[in-house]
Amino acid sequence: MTGLRSAAWYAGHRRDAYIHRAWMRRGLPDSAFAGRPQIAIANTASDLTPCNSHLDEVAEHVKRGVWEAGGVPLNLPVVSLGETQVRPTAMLWRNMAAMATEEMLRANPVDGVVLLGGCDKTIPSLLMAAASVDLPAVVVPGGPMLTGTFRGVPLGCGTDVWRLSEEVRAGTLSERDFHESESSMIRSRGHCNTMGTASTIGLLAEALGTTLPGTAGIPAADSRLLARAHETGRLVVEMVAADRRPSRVLTAGSFHNAIVTLAAIGGSTNAVVHLLAIAGRLGVPLTLADFDRIGADVPLLVDLQPAGRHLMEDLHRAGGLAAVLHEVIDLLDPDALTVTGQPLVEFLGDARIWDPDVIRTRDAPLQPHAGIAVLHGNLAPNGAIIKPAAASPELLRHRGRAVVFDSIEDFRARIDDPDLDVDADSVLVLRGCGPKGYPGMPEVANLPLPPKLLRQGVRDMVRICDGRMSGTAYGTVVLHVAPEAAAGGPFDRIRTGDVITLDVPRRTIDVDLSPDELAARPPSPAMLAAVARPSRGWERLYVDTVMGADTGADLDFLVGASGHEVSRESH
């Protein structure tokens, strides 16, 4: 194969080429450095990212496919982010992981890359990196875990954590039983088995065209995932030969298809901020408005938690993503390509629904209009979002008195107080949780309800936050409020007792204050005292340069691409 990027390291008889080859030999044959594409396997396997701990095995099968196709596979461990473990929030490190992966791909003698991710932030960070360095790249999603059960009832990891913990706070479930369910929650390797962020992003990676079609959604414990990993290893070598790069695959049509998919599967709101960030690396003009414009009238077809009943293993059994997309094929961009070089729609012709209880047909959807609703108003001039499929229909139009919390610590200190002045019609407001304020935009927006209301049978309230919500969570939650409070948005001037009006059908979120009164109010001193002011390191760089949720919360100097060229030798 001629014209390989890696030849700049390995070809010829210079001293530097000698050094590059000699230190890499370690049992490799001479042919490894003579016209064979060097394929990095960007591997997020880590014992501290339990959802990705099986990716070393997946990498071995990718290697087999690369060798078989004539390439040289190279394991490249990259930054791994475990959503359940990393403090203060994994979102703080997404951009760092993307930047580190981009730089390592650019700095090393590689011609193409296979991206192995699973847990929420890993695939977005890998795709952001691949888009910026623009080398042939293909994703292998790690896949969801198998379904666990507790006392004969299937458990949706994440979703049932929120549900069961609220029952404990309501006094309807004992702490002993809650603890006993813990050992049943995670049955196998793999990421969350609900339609949370990890499942959503894995499926959207396929809708974007960045996986071998038919790979996303295969359970992590299913041997067919290893077979697809092998095929992907073969594919990436062919992609290098065809010079098939992210900039040629990821187009406006690809993001159109991802938004249609997001609505049809009832996917996580976190996908919005990740898709915006990936598009920003490519120069694709994607905005919040596109999510409403493209996705608002797409029917919800997948009956999975948290918007429905079933779990990811059921989705795969029922026909998988291809069966879903076949139902909405007329809404997809017919020209958007996949990493195979063929359009996505060409892989949907034979797809069938094998269980219509899990995947609904177009004429019998779970909901006729799903999507992500984008709200504007004097509370959120740059926008906020809500997932109607996970909300209570009766709360989508609501007017209530604000109960304001200036930080997550303030919330936790007061929410269980039986004297808290709150009722079922109140609107819970949490601020100081945006990208700058926390820092990192944590998944705290799905606020636990006051115990005194839980004991009255209340199970949902309108909640508003400038942070994020777990993709496994549910409820009538307005999130990603922009500008965030810590960046000077009007959200920092709301006070307890103000009346807030939510009207999702009209796409509005407002506080009943005149423009002059709202502008004249000073920011909350308690909120300002609680926001992050790091003095050094990544957190300082992040807070100083992170952009708003409405544009993807990337760092301002990382938007766009730098390509793969490196002009200077290392010795």
User: pLDDT tens, 203-216?
Assistant: 999 999 999 999 99
Evaluate if residue 344 carries a pLDDT over 80. Answer: yes
- For 184, half-sphere exposure in the C-beta direction (CA atoms, 13 angstrom radius) is 16
**In the chain, domain spans:** 37-147+187-347, 148-185, 373-533
At 2, the pLDDT band (50, 70, 90 cuts) reads low
The partner residues of 494 in beta bridges, in order of sequence, read none
Q: How many CB atoms lie within 10 A of CB 10?
A: 20
Token readout for 316 is 């795969």
User: Which residue do the tokens 């049509």 mark?
Assistant: 253
pLDDT at position 470, please? 85
Distance of alpha carbon 506 from alpha carbon 179, whole angstroms = 43
User: Which residue do the tokens 């839980």 mark?
Assistant: 454
- For 454, half-sphere exposure in the C-beta direction (CA atoms, 13 angstrom radius) is 20
Tell me the mean pLDDT in the region 481-502. 96
Query: In CATH, which superfamily holds the domain spanning 37-147+187-347?
Result: Response regulator (3.40.50.2300)
- 3.40.50.300, 2.40.30.130, 3.30.9.10, 3.50.30.80: CATH of 373-533: 3.50.30.80
Enclosing H/E stretch for 397: strand 397-405
Tell me the mean pLDDT in the region 268-287. 97
pLDDT at position 185, please? 86
pLDDT at position 182, please? 84
Distance of alpha carbon 156 from alpha carbon 163, whole angstroms = 10
Q: Most confidently modeled of 160-174, 321-335, 358-372?
A: 321-335
Query: Exposed (0-12), middle (13-18) or buried (19+): which is 8, by Cβ within 10 Å?
Result: middle
Evaluate if residue 53 carries a pLDDT over 80. Answer: yes
Distance of alpha carbon 232 from alpha carbon 343, whole angstroms = 17
Give me the percent of the chain exceeding a pLDDT of 90: 85
Distance of alpha carbon 343 from alpha carbon 209, whole angstroms = 8
- Burial letters for 61-79: b for 16+ Cβ neighbours within 10 Å, e otherwise? bbbebbbebebbbbebebb
pLDDT at position 225, please? 98
Tell me the mean pLDDT in the region 230-250. 98
Distance of alpha carbon 124 from alpha carbon 118, whole angstroms = 10
Q: Quickly list H helices, 186-251.
A: 197-207, 223-242, 246-249
User: Which residue do the tokens 């493209």 mark?
Assistant: 294
pLDDT at position 186, please? 87
Distance of alpha carbon 20 from alpha carbon 2, whole angstroms = 19
Distance of alpha carbon 335 from alpha carbon 244, whole angstroms = 16
Token readout for 305 is 């938690």
Tell me the mean pLDDT in the region 168-182. 86
Distance of alpha carbon 537 from alpha carbon 394, whole angstroms = 46
At 177, the pLDDT band (50, 70, 90 cuts) reads confident
Q: Computed from CA positions of residues 195, 312, 92, 113, in that sequence, does the dihedral angle turn out positive or negative?
A: negative
pTM over 0.85: yes
User: Which residue do the tokens 């002009």 mark?
Assistant: 567
CA angle 450, 453, 459 (to 5 degrees): 90
Q: Is 434 helix (H, G, I), strand (E, B) or coil?
A: coil
Q: CB neighbours of 129 closer than 8 A, spacing ≥ 6?
A: 42, 97, 98, 99, 100, 101, 102, 105
At 1, the pLDDT band (50, 70, 90 cuts) reads low
Distance of alpha carbon 323 from alpha carbon 344, whole angstroms = 13
At 502, the pLDDT band (50, 70, 90 cuts) reads very high
At 27, the pLDDT band (50, 70, 90 cuts) reads confident
Token readout for 424 is 């079922």
Pair 461, 476: CB distance under 8 Å: yes
pLDDT at position 504, please? 96
The partner residues of 439 in beta bridges, in order of sequence, read none
User: Which residue do the tokens 């017919």 mark?
Assistant: 334
Query: Exposed (0-12), middle (13-18) or buried (19+): which is 51, by Cβ within 10 Å?
Result: buried
Q: How far is CA 235 from CA 114, 154, 340, in A?
A: 10, 37, 7
